[in-house]
Structure 1
């Protein structure tokens, strides 16, 4: 059961983290490349000649910057920080709820992506069938840097999770 004053502490920390804006930035460890695109197409059971000739499906944006095994998110990652705050207050379980992606254009082989992460919203406490919790939404934005020094936004994602106290723990 969350301690008295938990809501005030949670919302104060959410406000502080959100005020940082795009606080976290990561660069993809590898540029967009054909072997990874082909492997992804095979795994998804999808084929399109366009994606066998130098373009990546836009829905792969997240693939290029996911931490993967052995790597960690940056220490300043807003979503991770908010999850730590909620865990410390007794909200120990996580349930993914939804993801909304927007694609500006197709990615091209050779492009190096970077992603920024910001805390978008924290709403709660909400009573759900899973237990009482907070809905936490982060916003990721993927960019490609060009040789002329400009930065182009290529995709965005709102990612929402429910961080909650399991029903049996109340």
Structure 2
């Protein structure tokens, strides 16, 4: 999936405070958000909508506890492709986009791999099935190297907004 425009959006300190709050809790009501950032509700809502329209706020999600849902195994998979063509990459990306086990997929450089996937499954049996019946069956996959997460040391979706003016 191609990334959206990377055109920089100018934000001020109030926008940054709004973004910091919604990254921590996307379920805040507009009134709660306005109170936290020191605005009245109407200007707060206008700013949030402007950030959404500018593509800064892409979507609001709920983060689930994977272990409480029985998804105890996280794997990082490095995948090599046999040919480096736009068609081969597009076909691979379209295929993995349909796999609910894949949380993240990156086209990478600097490794002996072309893609890095983050995959969440219940256990090693499910991982084995996923690897053999899905990943290795994608046309063009020429190499797979798996690593397994022992412990999540930092697991954040928040962006570092301190760099913004």
TM-score, normalised by the number of residues in structure 2: 0.22
Q: Give the structure-1-normalised TM-score.
A: 0.21
Query: Could you say which structure has the larger radius of gyration?
Result: 2
Between structures 1 and 2, the one with greater strand share:
1
